[in-house]
C-alpha cells in the first residue's frame, strides 16, 4: 500500500469527494491563493499546502478564496449547506473561531433541532490545531473541548494519515455539521493510505496498541506522544493499551471502558487546559460507568491552565510529552489493587 | 410595474394578516398563553410584503428576531406559525424553535434568527448556491438598523460583492435597536450609503409604502436574477410597539408614538388602491373577514394543541449519532 503523508491524505480525500459529488465545494482564506495577485491563482493551496492543486483541477467556482472574514466564511457555508451544497469550509487556525463561533454553535449546530428536524446542514469545518510550532498564544490552541460540548456538532480528530482520509471522506458524506481538526504536528507524518476512497465511521475508536498494565486514551497529535511513551515503558516491562477514540463527539465510550476493564488503570492525555476538557470528560465517564474497574486514581496529562506560551522552553513545558505521560503511567502503577 | 387585481389582493391579504396576527400575538401574550418573549412586526408590514411579493418558494430569505412578518410575507402557514409561537406540537418547528426560530425550508424561509446580524452571512451562502447552480434565484438577508452595525453584516456585504452572490440585503430601519435610537447607534448618516460603500447598488425606501418597496426590490431582482451580484435596500419603517411585547417604551415620547401610528402602510395601500378603482371596498371587507377568521382559527388550534411529547426532547439533534 502506498505511503502518504497526513497532508496528502486530506488532499486526496477532498479531491476524490469533489470528483464524486459536484455539490462539494471548498472555501476559505487562500485555499487557492493568488487571486488578485500579480501571479496566478491556485499557486498556494492553503497556508500548509493541504488544498494544493484543487483550484487547478476544479476551478474558482468550487475552490473559493474568501476575504479574511471568518463569520462570513462559516455563515456562507451554513447557507450553502442548507440550500443543497456540501461545503468544506476552512478556518485556517482553530484559534480564529473566536470571530465566527456564533455561526458554528448558535447557527449550524442548532438548525436541525430548532427547526423541528426540517433542516439539514451537511457542513464540514476543517481547521488546524495544536502547539509546537512556536506560533504563540493565538495560533497554537486545540479548542476541541469547545466544539465537543456543543450538541449538534460532530468533532473529528484524526491521529494518522490513514484515519485522516477515511474520517474526512466520512465527514464530507455526513449530513450533520462536522468539525474536522487537523493536528499541525502530524502533517508530515506518513502511513499506508489506500488510493481508493474509503470511510471510517464516527464514534468507533481503535486500539493503536494493546497491553496489560495501563490504558492510555488520547486523540489527534497526542497519540504520537502516547505511543512514544508506551515504547519507552515497554523497555521497563510495562505494557499499555493506547486507545484512540478518533472522534470526541460522538465518543466511543465502549472501547474506553472495555480497555479500562482489562487494565484497571487509566491515563488520559489531552493537549488542552485541564478544566472541562476531553481529559476530564473521559475521566468522569470512567469514574461513573467504570467505577468497579479502576484500581488507581485516574491521571490526566494536560497542559497547565495558561495560554500557550511563545518561548520554546516554556512551550515545551506546556505541552504534554512522552516523559510526562510515562511518568503518569508509572504513578498509577504504584497503587496496589 | 402594474399589479393585477389578484396580486393586489394577495399583497393586502398578507399585510393585513401580519397586522391581525401580531395584534393577536400581543393579546395572547398578555393573557399568558405564549411562553418566553415575542417581538412583533406591527407598522412594518408593507416592508416585508413588498420585498417578498415577487419572490418564489425557490428564492430564500433569512430573517431576524422580529420574523413573524417575514414568514407571512414568504407564504408560511399561519396556523403552523401560531402553534410554533405557542410552543405546541404541530408547529412549523414542532414547538422546538419558538417565535424567534420559525423556519420553513419548503417556502425558502431559512429561519428567524435570534442573533442580531445572524442572517446576512447565511443568506450569502444561500445566494452562493444559486450562483453556482445558475438558478436565477436570489437570497434576501433581512436585518435591522441594529443588525446593520454588526461585523457579520459588513463581512457578508463584502463577501457577497467579492463572490458576486445574488444576495439582497434588506435593512429594515425601524428607528430603534432595542431601546436605543438608530440616530445614536448608526454612526453613518445613511445605512444605504454605507452598503453602497461596499461596492453594490443601494437605495433608501419608505418601508411603509408597499409600492415603493416592491419597486426597489424589482431593481434588486433584476440585478440578482441576471447574476450581476448583490443589492441593498434600506427600508425605513417605524416600529409601533417596543422592542418586545410588553416593553413600556419609557424611552419614546407620546408624540413620537402617535406620529408613528399615523404612518400606516396598510391604510395607505387601501386608500391608493380604492382611489384608482382597482379594488372595491367590498373586496377589502371580504379579505378582512377571511383573515380574521384564519387568525382566529389559528389561535383556537394553538390553544387546543398539545405541547410536544417528552420523547421529542432528544430527537433531531443529529440525523444520526
- Domain positions in chain A are 3-192, 206-333
Is the pTM higher than 0.90? The answer reads: yes
Mutation pick from B81, B84, B96, B121 vs chain A, by most beta carbons of A within 10 Å, is B121
Closest Cα in chain A, distance from residue B186 (Å): 21
Considering only CB atoms, which chain B residues are within 8 Å of A151? 317
Q: Decide: residue A326, CB within 10 A, 0-12 exposed, 13-18 middle, 19+ buried.
A: buried
Tell me the CA distances in angstroms from A210 to A214, A251, B245, one per residue in order.
10, 20, 62
Cα separation, A170 vs A163, whole angstroms: 10
What is the pLDDT averaged over residues B240-250? 94
Q: What is the pLDDT of residues A280-335, one digit of tens each?
A: 999 999 999 999 999 999 999 999 999 999 999 999 999 999 999 999 999 999 99
Query: Which residues from A are below 8 Å from B when comparing CB atoms?
Result: 25, 61-62, 64, 66-67, 69, 71-85, 87, 99, 102-103, 106-107, 111-120, 151-152, 154, 175-176, 203, 250
Q: Which chain A residue's Cα is nearest to B99?
A: A114
- Please identify every residue of A annotated as catalytic: 139
Q: Are strands A206-209 and A240-244 parallel, antiparallel or unpaired?
A: antiparallel
Residue A257 phi, psi dihedral angles, 5° rounding = -65, -40
Closest Cα in chain A, distance from residue B202 (Å): 20
Q: State whether B319 and A176 contact (CB < 8 Å).
A: yes
Considering only CB atoms, which chain B residues are within 8 Å of A115? 93, 96-97, 101, 103, 105, 111
Give the confidence band of A276 by pLDDT, cuts at 50, 70, 90: very high
Residue B249 lies in domain: 5-305
Nearest to A67 among B110, B159, B321 (CB): B159
CATH topology classification for A206-333: Rossmann fold (3.40.50)
Q: State whether A79 and B92 contact (CB < 8 Å).
A: no
**Is it true that A3-192 and A206-333 share their CATH fold?**
yes
Q: What is the biggest distance separating any 2 CA atoms in chain B, rounded to whole angstroms?
A: 61
* pLDDT attached to residue A337: 61
What is the pLDDT averaged over residues B228-255? 95
Nearest to B122 among A79, A113, A118 (CB): A79
**Helix ranges restricted to H, chain B:** 5-30, 45-52, 68-73, 78-85, 119-132, 151-163, 182-185, 191-197, 210-225, 254-262, 265-275, 281-304
Q: State whether A76 and B125 contact (CB < 8 Å).
A: yes
Question: What ipTM does the predicted assembly reach?
Answer: 0.94
Residue B46 placed within a domain? yes
Q: Is the peptide bond before A250 cis (omega within 30 degrees of 0)?
A: yes
Residue B277's CATH number: 3.40.50.970
Residue B312 placed within a domain? no
Q: What is the pLDDT of residues B44-53, one digit of tens each?
A: 999 999 999 9
Give the confidence band of B2 by pLDDT, cuts at 50, 70, 90: confident
**DSSP SS3 for B138:** coil
Q: Are strands A206-209 and A190-192 parallel, antiparallel or unpaired?
A: unpaired
For B:73-112, CB contacts with A below 8 A are 91-97, 101, 103-106, 110-111
Give the CA radius of gyration of chain A.
20
- Is B123 an interface residue toward A (CB < 8 Å)? yes
* pLDDT attached to residue A336: 74
The strand pairing partners of B233, in sequence order, are B170, B203
- pLDDT value at B1 more than 70: no
Contact A65, A54 (CB under 8 A): no
For B:158-177, CB contacts with A below 8 A are 158-159, 162-163, 165
Give the CA dihedral A38, A43, A44, A46, nearest 10 degrees: 120
Q: State whether B129 and A176 contact (CB < 8 Å).
A: no
**Domain covering A3-192: architecture:** 3-Layer(aba) Sandwich (3.40)
Residue B313 placed within a domain? no
Total domains present in chain B: 1
Q: State whether A203 and B133 contact (CB < 8 Å).
A: no
Contact B70, B290 (CB under 8 A): no
Nearest to B103 among A77, A80, A118 (CB): A118
The strand pairing partners of A215, in sequence order, are A241, A266
The strand pairing partners of A5, in sequence order, are A190
What is the pLDDT averaged over residues B9-36? 97
Q: State whether A176 and B315 contact (CB < 8 Å).
A: no
Within a 10 A sphere around the Cβ of A296, how many other Cβ atoms? 18
Q: State whether A72 and B104 contact (CB < 8 Å).
A: no
The conformational region for residue B90 under phi > 0 = left, psi -120 to 50 = alpha, else beta, is: left
- Is B127 an interface residue toward A (CB < 8 Å)? yes
Q: State whether B156 and A75 contact (CB < 8 Å).
A: yes
Nearest to B243 by CA among B234, B235, B252: B252
Mean pLDDT of chain A: 97
Q: State whether A151 and B62 contact (CB < 8 Å).
A: no
Contact B185, B156 (CB under 8 A): no
- pLDDT value at B246 more than 70: yes
Nearest to A281 by CA among A268, A265, A293, A264: A268
Cα separation, B240 vs B41, whole angstroms: 8
Considering only CB atoms, which chain A residues are within 8 Å of B147? none
Q: Which chain A residue's Cα is nearest to B81?
A: A115
Helix (H) or strand (E) holding A319: none
- Is B313 an interface residue toward A (CB < 8 Å)? no
What is the pLDDT averaged over residues B135-160? 98
Closest Cα in chain B, distance from residue A35 (Å): 11
Mutation pick from A24, A68, A74, A76 vs chain B, by most beta carbons of B within 10 Å, is A76
Nearest to A71 among B101, B155, B318 (CB): B155
Q: State whether B158 and A75 contact (CB < 8 Å).
A: no
Nearest to A116 among B93, B129, B139 (CB): B93
Cα separation, A180 vs A142, whole angstroms: 12
Cα separation, B227 vs B230, whole angstroms: 9
Closest Cα in chain B, distance from residue A232 (Å): 37
Q: What is the pLDDT of residues A156-184, one digit of tens each?
A: 999 999 999 999 999 999 999 999 999 99
Give the CA radius of gyration of chain B.
19
Q: State whether A71 and B151 contact (CB < 8 Å).
A: yes
Q: State whether A115 and B97 contact (CB < 8 Å).
A: yes
Mean pLDDT of chain B: 97
Amino acid at each position: 500500500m502506498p505511503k502518504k503523508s497526513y497532508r496528502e491524505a486530506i488532499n486526496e480525500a477532498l479531491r476524490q469527494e469533489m470528483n464524486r459529488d459536484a455539490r462539494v465545494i471548498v472555501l476559505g482564506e487562500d485555499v487557492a491563493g493568488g487571486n488578485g495577485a500579480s501571479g496566478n491563482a491556485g499557486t498556494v493551496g492553503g497556508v500548509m499546502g493541504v488544498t494544493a492543486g484543487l483550484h487547478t483541477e476544479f476551478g474558482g467556482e468550487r475552490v473559493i478564496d474568501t476575504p479574511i472574514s471568518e463569520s462570513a466564511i462559516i455563515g456562507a457555508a451554513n447557507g450553502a449547506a442548507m440550500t443543497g451544497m456540501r461545503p468544506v469550509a476552512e478556518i485556517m487556525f482553530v484559534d480564529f473561531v473566536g470571530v465566527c463561533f456564533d455561526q458554528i454553535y448558535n447557527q449550524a449546530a442548532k438548525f436541525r433541532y430548532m427547526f423541528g428536524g426540517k433542516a439539514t446542514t451537511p457542513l464540514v469545518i476543517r481547521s488546524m490545531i495544536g502547539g509546537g510550532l512556536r506560533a504563540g498564544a493565538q495560533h497554537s490552541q486545540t479548542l476541541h473541548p469547545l466544539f465537543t460540548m456543543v450538541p449538534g456538532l460532530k468533532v473529528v480528530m484524526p491521529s494518522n494519515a490513514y484515519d485522516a482520509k477515511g474520517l474526512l471522506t466520512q465527514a464530507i458524506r455526513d449530513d450533520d455539521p462536522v468539525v474536522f481538526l487537523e493536528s499541525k504536528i502530524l502533517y508530515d507524518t506518513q502511513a499506508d493510505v489506500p488510493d481508493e476512497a474509503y470511510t471510517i465511521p464516527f464514534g468507533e475508536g481503535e486500539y493503536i496498541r494493546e497491553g496489560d498494565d495501563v490504558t492510555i486514551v488520547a486523540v489527534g497529535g497526542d497519540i504520537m506522544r502516547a505511543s512514544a511513551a508506551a515504547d519507552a515503558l515497554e523497555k521497563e516491562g510495562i505494557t499499555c493499551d493506547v486507545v484512540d477514540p478518533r472522534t470526541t463527539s460522538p465518543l466511543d465510550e465502549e472501547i474506553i471502558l472495555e480497555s479500562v476493564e482489562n487494565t484497571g488503570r487509566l491515563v488520559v492525555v489531552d493537549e488542552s487546559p485541564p478544566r472541562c476538557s476531553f481529559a476530564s470528560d473521559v475521566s468522569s465517564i470512567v469514574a461513573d460507568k467504570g467505577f468497579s474497574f479502576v484500581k488507581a486514581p485516574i491521571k490526566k496529562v494536560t497542559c497547565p491552565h495558561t495560554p500557550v506560551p511563545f518561548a520554546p522552553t516554556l512551550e515545551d513545558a506546556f505541552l504534554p510529552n512522552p516523559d510526562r505521560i510515562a511518568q503518569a503511567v508509572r504513578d498509577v502503577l504504584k497503587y496496589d489493587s | 410595474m402594474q399589479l393585477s387585481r389578484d396580486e393586489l389582493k394577495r399583497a393586502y391579504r398578507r399585510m393585513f394578516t401580519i397586522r391581525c396576527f401580531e395584534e393577536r400575538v400581543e393579546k395572547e401574550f398578555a393573557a399568558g398563553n405564549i411562553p418566553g418573549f415575542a417581538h412583533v412586526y406591527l407598522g412594518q408590514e408593507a416592508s416585508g410584503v413588498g420585498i417578498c411579493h415577487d419572490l418564489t418558494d425557490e428564492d430564500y430569505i433569512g430573517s431576524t428576531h422580529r420574523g413573524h412578518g417575514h414568514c407571512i410575507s414568504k407564504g408560511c402557514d399561519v396556523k403552523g406559525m401560531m402553534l410554533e409561537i405557542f410552543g405546541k406540537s404541530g408547529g412549523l418547528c414542532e414547538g422546538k424553535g419558538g417565535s424567534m426560530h420559525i423556519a420553513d425550508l419548503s417556502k425558502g424561509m431559512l429561519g428567524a434568527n435570534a442573533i442580531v446580524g445572524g442572517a446576512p452571512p447565511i443568506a450569502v451562502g444561500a445566494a452562493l448556491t444559486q450562483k453556482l447552480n445558475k438558478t436565477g434565484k436570489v437570497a434576501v438577508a433581512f436585518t435591522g438598523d441594529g443588525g446593520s452595525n454588526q461585523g457579520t453584516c459588513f463581512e457578508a456585504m463584502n463577501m457577497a460583492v467579492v463572490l458576486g452572490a445574488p444576495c439582497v440585503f434588506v435593512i429594515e430601519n425601524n428607528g430603534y435597536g432595542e431601546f436605543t435610537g438608530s440616530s445614536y447607534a448608526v454612526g453613518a448618516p445613511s445605512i444605504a450609503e454605507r452598503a453602497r460603500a461596499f461596492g453594490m447598488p443601494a437605495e433608501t425606501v419608505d418601508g411603509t409604502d408597499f409600492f415603493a418597496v416592491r419597486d426597489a426590490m424589482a431593481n434588486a431582482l433584476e440585478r440578482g436574477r441576471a447574476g450581476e451580484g448583490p443589492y441593498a435596500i434600506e427600508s425605513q419603517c417605524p416600529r409601533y410597539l417596543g422592542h418586545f411585547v410588553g416593553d413600556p417604551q419609557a424611552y419614546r415620547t407620546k408624540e413620537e408614538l402617535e406620529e408613528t401610528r399615523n404612518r400606516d402602510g396598510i391604510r395607505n395601500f387601501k386608500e391608493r388602491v380604492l382611489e384608482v378603482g382597482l379594488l372595491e371596498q367590498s373586496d377589502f371587507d371580504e379579505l378582512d373577514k377571511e383573515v380574521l377568521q384564519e387568525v382566529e382559527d389559528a389561535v383556537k388550534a394553538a390553544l387546543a394543541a398539545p405541547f410536544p411529547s417528552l420523547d421529542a426532547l432528544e430527537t433531531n439533534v443529529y440525523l444520526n449519532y
